[in-house]
Structure 1
Amino acid sequence: MSELDAVLARIDADLDPSLERLFDWLRIPSVSADPAHAGDCRRAAEWLARDISGLGFTAGLEETAGHPIVLGRAPAPGKPRVLFYGHYDVQPADPVELWETPAFEPRVATLADGRKAIVARGACDDKGQVMTFVEACRAFKAVTGSLPVDVTLLVEGEEEVGSRHMPGFVESRRDELEADVALVCDTSMWDPRTPAITVSLRGLVYEEVTVKAADRDLHSGLFGGAAQNPIRVLAAIIAALHDPQGRVTLPGFYDGVPEPPADVVEQWRGLGLTAETFLGPVGLSVPAGERDRMVIEQIQSRPTCDVNGIFGGYTGPGAKTVIAAQATAKLSFRLVGAQDPDRIRASFRAFVRDRLPADCEAEFGAFSSSPAVALPYTMPALKRAQQALTDEWGREALAIGSGGSIPIVGDFKRTLGLDTLLVGFGLDDDRIHSPNEKYDLTSFHKGTRSWARILAALAQA
């Protein structure tokens, strides 16, 4: 039996005790958004620090102005260095009445299709995922007495409330967090049998624009036809943001947008993601993005512009015949590749101003802004991790993009110069942030085995 085989056998034999450890952590209601649970957040951090200390990590709590950060180090001089990131905070359980059993009393349930799953708040997001990595480390320590790579473990308690203090912490500890690659376990598989590595995250620009005209709401009988209507003006501007082919019309918007390699596109094409399978479950049928792109491209590798809210004038019950003095819209732009958030913001504002008629002015509010993050498809660590996942699951591990954003990955790149392997074992039906959150028992078990294989593969670099 090889060393890796012995580690995998240990993981199999230790499944029940590993579940008990996870359940102990899940019982702590570490809800970061609720000040009443500040003590529970600290207890959850202390629990993890204590657990990894038992594995030989030098571990402790790093204080912030919010909830503490768990920092653990298991040095292995001369070996490849990895920085593992996760979070111990969870979403509130509300509405509690929709839970089949209490949110912080974890259990293993049998689903309608026969699958077994861990049910509790935080089971998937992110305590269960973090523990797959910790349990892989535990197995290596039990079998070999050491870890195959140099590990720094960084687990925060404010991811669910925006990671307010993490960027500053990373900046202040940049020398201590130096590594060859970062690892994150907070993403999903393609389906219950197909593992995936997320190789790109879309960036984000969030804008608010208010178009103003008259100095008050006007009677539409007295002023209608003569007075400028900000709602009409704003609606026309928003309508002009896309052409009939679904492309965004902002000047320079597609600067820096890359094309995925041909073999990756072919792999995506073979996944069979169609409008029927993707949009059908939400009551839609026709993709609204760029017409010459597959659905999978529209949602993960192409940039977007979406209106998230629009309001102005009278919106109460009944009728009130007014011409509004102003109208407001909130918009988000999802970015890919080398698109520059500042240039996109500037282009949008110029686009609006160029279309304002006489008697109108625009005011803008800036919110989130972050660039896209992407791994090179030829990255050696990516190839090693893909092969490790393929070996464990018996199906080719996919390299996919994510339509969302994970800001810490950008911080790792900008501050530490690190690329991040996003390897997670969540599923679409895990109900994260919702009542009855779950994590498939197979995801937990084979996720732990997967991390053991990945660590062994990275050790060969």
Structure 2
Amino acid sequence: MSYERYFQENRERHLKELKQFLTIPSVSALSEHKQDMKEAAKWVAGKLEQAGLAKVEIIPTNGHPIVYAEHTQAPGKPTVLVYGHYDVQPVDPLHLWETPPFEPAIRGGKLFARGATDDKGQLFLHVKAIEAILRQEGKLPVNVKFCIEGEEEISSPNLPAFMKTQADKLAADVVLISDTSLLAKGKPAISTGLRGLCSLEATIATANTDLHSGTFGGGVPNALHAMVELLSSLHDDKGRVAVDGFYEGVPELSPDMREEFLKQRHNEEQLRADLGLDALYGEEGYSFVERTGARPTLELNGVWGGFQGEGTKTVIPKEAHAKITCRLVGDQDPAKTLERIIAHLEAHVQPGAKLTVKRGEQARAFNMDPSHPMLQKAADAYERVYGTRALFTKDGGSIPIVETFSRILQAPVVMMGFGLPDENLHAPNEHFNLENFDKGLLTIVDYLKQL
């Protein structure tokens, strides 16, 4: 039986099982869902056993459990490690959901539920692809391992330590991840880069109390004025970050990479109109997709202080705050980058203002050579199923655990995603287009067989 026919005949069963998975409210960030996390891990382990994996384990951590499975009965063949996560984002604001987030519903060829595309739906494809091969052929063309965590949405606090102590257990020739998107409907993409991350919160304090702006205005430092002046010093008038040494480790875009960006045929004017903007903005000399995929950034995520209630309160605030995140590329060191930003802030803070800084997240960027055979075979698999060869992209977001897999396991990482950019991941009405559910199953089978 062809795989197209197999998946068509089993489609109703597969969707019923996926809906069952999506009813589990496995929100890792909320302690009230701790039992739901255990139930989700147990559900995943059960489906891996049902699929025919030879060994399945639920491994406790200091947080939520890791599900490990393997089927290594193909001596001399490559080993593929499939990574995914069974945890999901919180559902707030609940009133914006058209149907309840943990009551899966199909509308217009889309499956709506929290986790439908990030990442339960995409993870499920791999389980069913393996099951299909074993039921159709009785054996796998490659060795397969699964490492499924329950903490991706809270920055994977326990997985790196597990990877370091269990590197031999997880050893593989390629790490396969489906947690990204196509460029657009019918236009597959393989991400060869994810930006790194570092963050901080800055606080400026002046007087020991808020002061009357009539009595003291013009004669004492104003924390908000000092903060605004300080933040404005972080960029020059060409959109570049003005922190000394910030661009150390940032590679220049090669002609080949710029050509890959051009192949995306991104319509900046349409984007501007869709967002209701008068103009786009960013580092001079780069297109939108280059700025957001292959260049580093320093962004203000929140700035506050002083009176924010209704009406007027003539006050000079004693403190002001700002949250800053940076997206990093190439070999930028997140720890060094933070130190450089802090040094810049300390050097430019206004007299009479006291600066304190709280360091936040730190993660290195992930980069892969698109010419690697494992990635090229993935692009071929997309072409055979979608009729269009996957483009190699650089994505602006950060998935810190991807770089960790690449570094600790010393294996190429193939980001074989089947979502779409408009599927509302992390937002109300998250959904998964069932066209990519169907094609995703076929693409994964094709890829494993070609390896």
- Superposition map of 1:62-461 within 5 A: 62-75=59-72, 76-110=74-108, 116-457=109-450, 459=451
Do the aligned residues in 2 keep the contact of 1:83 with 1:179 (CA within 8 Å)?
yes
- Shift in Å, 1:97: 4.1
- Offset, 1:56: 2.7
Provide TM-score, normalisation by structure 2.
0.94
- With 200-209 and 170-179 compared, the bigger mean Cα shift is at 170-179
Amino acid at match of 2:110: A
Q: Give the residue type in structure 2 aligned to 1:104.
A: F
Q: CA deviation at 1:149?
A: 1.4
* Corresponding position of 1:113: none
Q: In the aligned structure 2, how far is the partner of 1:108 from the partner of 1:220?
A: 58
TM-fit CA distance, 1:385: 0.8
Of the structure 1 ranges 332-341 and 220-229, higher mean CA displacement relative to structure 2 is found in 220-229
Structure 1 length normalisation: TM-score? 0.92
In 2, Cα distance between the equivalents of 1:128 and 1:239?
43
Distance 1:350 1:100, change over 3 A: closer
More moved, 221-230 vs 392-401: 221-230
The correspondence for 1:59, drawn from 48, 56, 60, is 56
Matched residues in 2 for 1:228 and 1:330: separation?
21
Report the AA paired with residue 16 of structure 1. E
Greater alpha carbon shift after TM alignment, 270-279 vs 197-206: 270-279
Paired residue type of 1:73 = E
Structure 1 residue 51 displacement after superposition? 1.5
Deviation at 1:262, TM superposition (A): 1.8
In structure 1, C-alpha distance between the alignment counterparts of 2:389 and 2:363, rounded to whole Å? 31
Deviation at 1:197, TM superposition (A): 0.8
Residue aligned with 2:7, SS: helix
Distance 1:177 1:87 in 2: 16
Residues 34 and 326 of structure 1: CA distance in aligned 2, closer, same or farther (over 3 Å): closer
Label 1:91 to 1:350 Cα distance change in 2 as closer, same or farther (>3 A).
closer
Q: Which region of structure 1 is more displaced relative to structure 2, 84-93 or 388-397?
A: 84-93
Bigger Cα displacement from structure 2, 445-454 vs 271-280? 271-280
Question: How far did 1:78 drift?
Answer: 1.6
Out of 35, 38, 45, the residue aligned to residue 49 of structure 1 is 45
Report deviation, 1:329. Answer: 1.2
CA contact (8 A) 2:230 2:350 kept: no
After superposition, the Cα gap between the structure-2 partners of 1:59 and 1:320, relative to the gap in structure 1 and judged at 3 Å, is same
Distance 2:400 2:7 in 1: 32
d(CA) in 1 for partners of 2:304, 2:267: 33
Deviations 1:396-452 (A, max 9, x none): 211111111111112213322233211111112212233332111111010111111
| 1:300 CA drift (Å) | 1.0
> Does structure 2 conserve the Cα–Cα contact (< 8 Å) formed by 1:11 and 1:136?
no
Equivalent residue letter for 1:133 = H
> Which of 35, 39, 60 is the aligned partner of 1:39?
35
CA–CA distance in 2 between the matches of 1:72 and 1:426?
Answer: 24
* Percent identity of paired positions between Structure 1 and Structure 2: 39
**Structure 1 residues 287 and 328: CA distance shift in structure 2, 3 A:** same
- For the Cα contact (< 8 Å) 1:90–1:125, is it kept in 2? yes
Q: Which amino acid aligns with 1:63?
A: P
Unaligned runs of 5+ in 1: 111-115
Give the residue type in structure 1 aligned to 2:68.
L
CA shift at 1:95, angstroms? 4.0
- Match of 1:140, SS state, is helix
